[in-house]
Structure 1
Amino acid sequence: MNYTETIHYLYTRLPMFSRVGAAAMKPGLDNTIALCAALGDPHQQFKSVHIAGTNGKGSVSHMLAAILQTAGYNTGLYTSPHLYDFRERIRINGQMIPEAAVVNFVQRTQGLVEKLDPSFFELTVGMAFDYFAAEKVDIAIIEVGLGGRLDSTNIITPELSVITNIGFDHMNLLGNTLPEIAGEKAGIIKPEIPVVVGGHQEAVDPVFIQKAEGANAAIFFASDHFRVQGYQLYPQSLVIELEEKDLEQVQKLELDLPGIYQLQNVQTALMAVELLQQSGWQISDDQVAAALKDVKGLTGLMGRWDVLRTQPLVVLEVAHNVDGVQQMLRHLQQQQFHKLHLVLGMVNDKDISSVLALLPKDAHYYFTQAHIPRALEAAALQEQAALAGLQGAAFPDVNSAIENALQAAGTQDLVLVCGSIFLAGEVDRQRWKNSAY
């Protein structure tokens, strides 16, 4: 098989959550354990940091990867899902896994696939661990796919566990209350391995504290150690004045991730860095500052208040659940623009009515859909949105929706594309960067 044929095999032979939803889930960790055992247990051959959470885990993962590789470590990064290229999921020092390595792994494991019948995610996790071990990474940042306790990544024993925040998402799989969801995320807490939690949430703090105490794991809430003293928001950057409470000193940091929701994420990442430093990892303050200024350049991160062009401003944002949309709207309130044009597409297993209830009624809407089986049809989304007081036309794909939004938008307007990670993955970035609208 060549690379194109290999990717087609992965997408069609293996059940894939992004396409079919819960039907792709394989209960338990037995498949992943068996797969990795057959590969020689590669996950035991490198050090790691494990990151879970409803929102923010992708940003924190990329921040930590940028910091560690800037500090000179050979750094792996495993995240999901991808936007444009399958290989975005598996990187070392920001470089995607080579096509040849993907082809080689799939060819080597076809017999195992037939024997174990793994999910797409299980095989992808095995591929990442195998690649990181073969390339002898010093450390790998491993982002949980879904939940934590039963996630395929949860066979690792990391240097550090990180939980960013808890919100409502995937309730059909993780539970209908915040404590139930937190219980699944807390499943990544390991015996005597320190854990960082981003911020306090009254409903879920006891879940994490009890789990950590039971595992004899030291627990650190990032918001107990850092306080935001001030910040300046720019179109493509965020400058933060951050006080470390124990030291009573303020440092100014610039991020190339302008979302206001990054205020908590950067505190979480810095708390993780401090614990890594205490356990012997050599990371200087200058290296941290340099890395945070270039997270996108160092790691390839996309989709977090991702500015594609200006005049009018076109932004790609992967917010897709209630918590993420609330954070996006807080950021939106601090933006200067004349009219808002909102290109929206969602998958059908999200809490769609709750998301629609949050969105501004005075925006101009362009309803659309991603080309995956889980996508809610644009016309159906348009009907549900109308019940929430949101008016707009339906379009068969995201790029035609953006085209219509740009035709209607003035130079001081904002075109915001959001609602689904998979919708964001179908945006033709180069077309809109270079368009004449």
Structure 2
Amino acid sequence: MNYEQTIEYLYSQLPMFTRVGASAYKEDLDNTLALAEVLDQPQRKFKSIHIAGTNGKGSVSHMLAAVLQQAGYKTGLYTSPHLKDFRERIRINGVPCREDFVISFTERMRESITSIEPSFFELTMMMAFEYFATEQVDVAVIETGLGGRLDSTNIILPELSVITNISFDHMHILGDTLPKIAFEKAGIIKPGVPVVIGETQPEVKHVFEETAARHHSAIHFADQEWRITDRQPDVEALTLTILEDADPEARTYTLDLTGHYQEKNLLSVLSAVRILRSQGWRLSEQAVHTALAAVKRLTGIRGRWDVIARDPYIVLDVGHNEAGIQEILQQLTLVNYKKLHIVTGFVKDKDVAKALDLLPGFAQYYFTKAQIPRAMDEQELYTLAVAAGLSGSTYPTVAEAFNAAKANAAKEDMILVCGSFFIVAEVL
């Protein structure tokens, strides 16, 4: 098989959560452990950092990987889903996994695929672990797929765990209350391994504290260790002045990830860096500054308040749940535009009605669907949107919706594409 045939085989043969939803989710680690046994435990052959959370875990993973890479470490990065090319999920120093490795790994594992019947995520995550082990990375930053406790990535024993925040998402799998969701995310906390919690949330703080205490793991709440004293948002960069709890001297960081919500993510990264330094990792302040200003170049991250054009101002953002939409709305208040056009679509297993209730009623909407089975039909979305007081038109494909928005937008207007990773992916 060539690369395209290999990817089509993986998509067609393995249940894929991002396409079909909960039917692809396995409520145990049995398949993952079986695959690890076949591959001689590749996850034990490199050091790792584990990242979970409802929102921000992708940004934190990329920022931390950029810092480690800039500091001179050969750094693996595993994230999901991808936007354009499957190999975006598996990177070393920002470079996507080689096509020939994807082909050879899949060929080698075909017999095990038949006998173990793993999901797409289970197999491709083990592909990443095997790649990192084969390429002898110094460290790999591993982002969870869903939850934490039963997530396939949770067979690693990391140097550090990070949990960005907790909000409502995947409730049909993770639980219908914040403490239940926090319990699942807290499942990545390992005995004796320090953990950073990005946001102190009263409803779930005790869940993390109790789990950390049970595992004798030092716990750090990032928003209690750092304080932002000044912010200078800009289209090209976000400049933040920050005070550390134990240091009276302020530090200024410039981020190329410009979304307002990156402020919270930066605090998680700074706490993680401080802990890694205490463990002996050589992460100079210069490396941190340089990396944070060049995360896009170093890691290839896309879709986080991603400005792709001006006149009109066009932004792509993968925010897709209640908390993610709220962060996008905060960012919108910083932008000047004459009229707002929003291209949006959702997947069926989200609380779409709640997300629509948050969106601004004054915008012109272009309701559409991604070309995946999990996507909500654009007519059904339109019905929900009208009930939420929104107005617009429906389009059967993302391309048609995006082209209509561009045709209707004046130079002084703004086009926002959001609602789903897959809507953004199809625009890209």
TM-score with structure 2 length normalisation?
A: 0.99
Residue pairs, 1:235-250, within 5 angstroms: 235-250=235-250
Indicate the percent of aligned positions where both proteins have the same amino acid. Answer: 54
Is the counterpart of residue 61 in structure 1 residue 54 in structure 2? no
Letter of the structure 1 residue corresponding to residue 380 of structure 2: A
Tell me by how many angstroms 1:383 deviates: 1.0
Hey, what's the Cα distance between the residues in 2 that align with 1:142 and 1:360? 35
Q: Which residue of 1 aligns with 2:326?
A: 326
SS at match of 1:248: strand
Hey, what's the Cα distance between the residues in 2 that align with 1:55 and 1:316? 16
SS at match of 2:247: coil
Hey, what's the Cα distance between the residues in 2 that align with 1:408 and 1:30? 52
Which consecutive residues of structure 1, in runs of 5 or more, have no partner in the other structure?
A: 430-437
1:15-36 CA-to-partner distances (Å, cap 9, x unmatched) read: 0001110000122011101101
Is the counterpart of residue 129 in structure 1 residue 121 in structure 2? no
Q: Which residue of 1 aligns with 2:142?
A: 142
SS at match of 1:137: coil
Letter of the structure 1 residue corresponding to residue 178 of structure 2: L
Hey, what's the Cα distance between the residues in 2 that align with 1:402 and 1:27? 37
Q: Which residue of 1 aligns with 2:296?
A: 296
Q: Which residue of 2 aligns with 1:435?
A: none
Residue pairs, 1:158-169, within 5 angstroms: 158-169=158-169
Q: Which runs of 4+ in 1 moved over 6 A?
A: none
Is the counterpart of residue 175 in structure 1 residue 191 in structure 2? no
Tell me by how many angstroms 1:292 deviates: 0.4
Q: Which residue of 2 aligns with 1:205?
A: 205
Which consecutive residues of structure 2, in runs of 5 or more, have no partner in the other structure?
A: none
1:289-319 CA-to-partner distances (Å, cap 9, x unmatched) read: 0000000100000000001100100000001
Tell me by how many angstroms 1:403 deviates: 1.3
Letter of the structure 1 residue corresponding to residue 134 of structure 2: A
Q: Which residue of 1 aligns with 2:307?
A: 307
Hey, what's the Cα distance between the residues in 2 that align with 1:179 and 1:368? 34
Hey, what's the Cα distance between the residues in 2 that align with 1:188 and 1:50? 7
Letter of the structure 1 residue corresponding to residue 287 of structure 2: Q
Q: Which residue of 2 aligns with 1:433?
A: none
Tell me by how many angstroms 1:173 deviates: 0.1
Hey, what's the Cα distance between the residues in 1 that align with 2:43 and 2:4? 27
Hey, what's the Cα distance between the residues in 1 that align with 2:362 and 2:245? 41
SS at match of 1:206: helix
Q: Which residue of 2 aligns with 1:422?
A: 422
RMSD: 0.6
Q: Which residue of 2 aligns with 1:398?
A: 398
Hey, what's the Cα distance between the residues in 1 that align with 2:156 and 2:235? 38
- Number of equivalences: 428
Query: Which 10-residue stretch deviates more, 24-33 or 135-144?
Result: 24-33
Tell me by how many angstroms 1:236 deviates: 2.4
Hey, what's the Cα distance between the residues in 2 that align with 1:114 and 1:321? 35
Is the counterpart of residue 77 in structure 1 residue 77 in structure 2? yes
1:228-254 CA-to-partner distances (Å, cap 9, x unmatched) read: 001111112111111112112211111
TM-score with structure 1 length normalisation?
A: 0.97
Letter of the structure 2 residue corresponding to residue 391 of structure 1: S
Q: Which residue of 2 aligns with 1:52?
A: 52
Q: Which residue of 2 aligns with 1:434?
A: none
1:180-234 CA-to-partner distances (Å, cap 9, x unmatched) read: 0000000000000000000100000000000000000000000111000011111
Residue pairs, 1:11-410, within 5 angstroms: 11-410=11-410
SS at match of 2:426: coil
